[in-house]
Amino acid sequence: MRTGSMRVAEISLPAIRSNVRRIREVSGGHLIAVMKANGYGHGAAICARAALEAGATMIAVADIEEALALRAAGIEGPVLCWLHGLRADWRSAVEAGIEIGVSHLAQLDGVAEAAAGLGLTAAVQLKLDTGLSRNGAGVEEWPDLFARAAELQEAGSVRVRGIFSHLANAGDDRDRAQAARFDEAVALLRTAGIEPELIHLAASAATFTSPHLHYNTVRVGMSVFGYSPFADRTSADLGLTPAMTLRSEVVGLRSVPEGAGVSYGFNHVAQGDTTLALVPMGYADGLPRALNGAGATVAIAGRHCPIVGRIGMDQCIVDLGTLGRRVEVGDPVILFGDPATGVPPVEVWSELMRTINYEIVVGIGPRVLRVPVDEADEEASEDEAGVEAADHAADDPSVPVRASETSRSIDTPDDMHALGIALGRRLAAGDLVILTGPLGAGKTTFARGLGEGLGVRGPVTSPTFVLARTHPSLVGGAPLVHLDAYRLRDAAELDDLDLDFDGAVVVAEWGAGLIDTRESWIEIVIERPTGGATGSDDGDGGEDDDAADDADEAPVEPRTLTITGYGRRWADGVL
């Protein structure tokens, strides 16, 4: 979608609607869609409309100012807010028809007084602390709060619509203990003569794991936007679709020689002749400065390309390698989005930053234009992308089309090894596998498993200093050529190695951009948390690669593998 902005967060309205319907399917009751912090960075008004259209019972935000902003944006459905200071503007909230979550007797009386002055009845929900030790009425306040609420409801100044609390998500036993206290509160409220319409305790995590905590309503934030609240389960695992695609564009291209310093401090130096792309996204826009050198990638021309050099306030630099000959100024850059479309997921950033996906999306800066994208817009965007892809194909008709893509989460060294075995059993002479990932990501571990799956003579160790090793087959199959392209500057140097691409299975570490004119190949991008522990470097240019190969160089922290097949050979998938 063309907007004129160099920085765009496209927000998929079909994804929001689909996620709301999915959550309602799981919970079976009312759904309160939380839109605080500008819709978790997505644009509160944009997403609130879509959520209500899909069947959300009401919208929730943190404070009155956020609620009034939704009203000003034309959101007419029910809106709840629950975090208030001493100078809260009860009158404006009541006048705008906002439901107010009250945590203390003084707040309840303030709301009632404002409603009486306006000649209106204020809708309130009672906010309780059941063990989070945060906002909400403590157990010692409940009897007086409930009695006063019943009195004011009888007088007509307030209507108690709901009762709710927040879980600590500190484990099932503690969640159940909180639920038991919540049950006591609900029973006490009913004894006071109030029957609440909405009873809610579960947020995103409990909605998907604890049906016994659903009551008749769930109050969900992050999952509405398509993100998983769990470290070990993806959005796809939950049946959700990430709504935000963070886009920018190439605004400059620069060819640099080996040894050229890149960005402030020269903490990155080009390892060979390459092309650098300038992308106008920096830490003012939510691209964390600490991602510098962490292994984060962006998608350009269907490839995952690394961010290199220090990230600035307004811009960052991407190393295109030999892909640079097919990229032009103005070409789109996708920083993160739905991994099902072949782009990096936001969780890559959060894992590298050792934080949660919530913090990343909420931190997308105000210069980034939030653009709602509906079905027709998405089709147009896909058509535009298709035109751009066709243009590139016309420039270089030998480039195969991406045929299939999948993502895998790898938790242990054995898992990485086993995945390599599984792929090795599918490969035949003429197949090419390109492995991309930062130091210590586990590329050689994967290659070792692949060699085992092929049945070649081992051990398969890092070829860093010899550039390439050939491992003959022990079972009458194709040999394995294990290549480390880290020190190769271009495809010409690769040709000088005179490798048998047609008669062998070739696995190329650090090979992205060097081998891109074949009819088909597999590209595997391994992403790991920054500072992720490893037994040692896995031979990716380390100083003592023989020692590293003797040690356990495989990952001991989770990795995310994006496996992409190019060309007809992999049209039905790689694994």
Given a contact cutoff of 8 angstroms between Cβ atoms, the answer to whether 281 and 226 are in contact is no
Q: How far is CA 279 from CA 90, 248, 330, 364, 561, in A?
A: 45, 7, 10, 16, 25
Q: CB atoms < 10 A from the CB of 23, how many?
A: 25
Q: How far apart are CA 507 and CA 509, in angstroms?
A: 7
Q: How far apart are CA 279 and CA 6, in angstroms?
A: 9
**Residues 259, 262: Cα–Cα separation, whole Å:** 9
Q: Of 45, 27, 75, 82, whose CA–CA distance to 60 is shortest?
A: 82
Alpha-carbon gap, residue 459 to 444, rounded angstroms: 11
Residue 269 is encoded by which pair of tokens? 């130096």
Instruction: Tell me the C-alpha distance between 238 and 337, whole Å.
Output: 16
Cβ-based neighbours of 76, under 8 Å, separated by 6 or more: none
Q: How many residues does the chain have?
A: 575
The active-site residue out of 36, 215, 443, 566 is 36
- Would you state the torsion angle of the CA atoms of residues 336, 436, 478, 415, taken in this order, to the nearest 10 degrees? -80
Q: Are 289 and 300 in contact (CB under 8 A)?
A: no
Q: What angle do CA 54, 336, 34 make, to 5 degrees?
A: 35
- Taking the CA of residue 161 as centre, how many other CA atoms within 13 Å lie in the half-sphere pointing to its CB? 17
Distance CA 37, CA 35 (A): 7
Residue 215 annotated among the catalytic residues of the structure = no
Provide the 10 A C-beta neighbour count for residue 237: 12
- Which residue is it, tokens 């998608």? 299
- Tell how far CA 144 is from the center of its chain: 44
> Pairing relation of β-strands 58-61 and 79-81?
parallel
Smallest CA-to-CA distance from 501 within 480, 485, 486 is with: 480
In terms of DSSP H, where are the helices of 226-374? 235-238, 346-352, 357-362
Q: Are strands 99-102 and 79-81 parallel, antiparallel or unpaired?
A: parallel
Q: Which of 127, 215, 227, 264 is catalytic?
A: 264
Burial class (CB in 10 A: 0-12, 13-18, 19+), 216: middle
The helix/strand/coil state of 241 is: coil
Strand partners, 124: 100, 160
Residue 9, C-beta contacts closer than 8 angstroms, at least 6 positions apart:
41, 42, 43, 244, 245, 246, 247, 364, 368, 369, 370, 371
Active site residue 358: no
Chain centroid to CA 279: 20
The pair of structure tokens assigned to 170 is 């500190």
DSSP-derived 3-state class of residue 253 = strand
> Among all residues, which ones are annotated catalytic?
36, 264
